[in-house]
């Protein structure tokens, strides 16, 4: 919500053509791009990475539990 308000407030700077726009326009492009990319990373990439690492950590703890219980002696791990 906060990022969307910031992006919408920078829209006039993206389309500025008057004096000083040669400084304001590139700054607005960078800020808007950063807000959009950070929002996508936060909402899409981080949850996927968390699930992936959580699943692999669960596999590792299951193997450790089997080894501690003695179920892994004399047999190969899958």
Q: CA–CA separation, 11 vs 51, rounded Å?
A: 35
**Per-residue b or e along 37-58, where b marks 16 or more CB atoms closer than 10 Å to that residue's CB:** eeeeeeeeeeeeeeeeeeeeee
Q: CA–CA separation, 71 vs 67, rounded Å?
A: 6
Domain ranges of the chain: 2-69
pLDDT in tens, the chain (78 residues): 888 999 999 999 989 888 888 889 999 999 999 999 999 999 999 999 998 888 887 776 666 666 677 654 555 555
In a 13 Å sphere around the CA of 13, the CA atoms on its Cβ side amount to 17
This prediction's pTM? 0.64
**Which SS3 state, helix, strand or coil, does residue 13 take?**
helix
């Amino acid at each position: 919500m906060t990022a969307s308000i910031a992006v919408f407030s920078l829209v006039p700077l993206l389309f500025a053509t008057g004096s000083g726009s040669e400084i304001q326009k590139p700054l607005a492009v960078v800020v808007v791009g950063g807000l959009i990319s950070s929002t996508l990373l936060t909402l899409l990439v981080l949850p996927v990475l968390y699930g992936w690492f959580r699943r692999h950590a669960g596999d590792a703890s299951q193997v450790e539990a089997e080894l501690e219980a003695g179920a892994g002696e004399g047999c190969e791990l899958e």
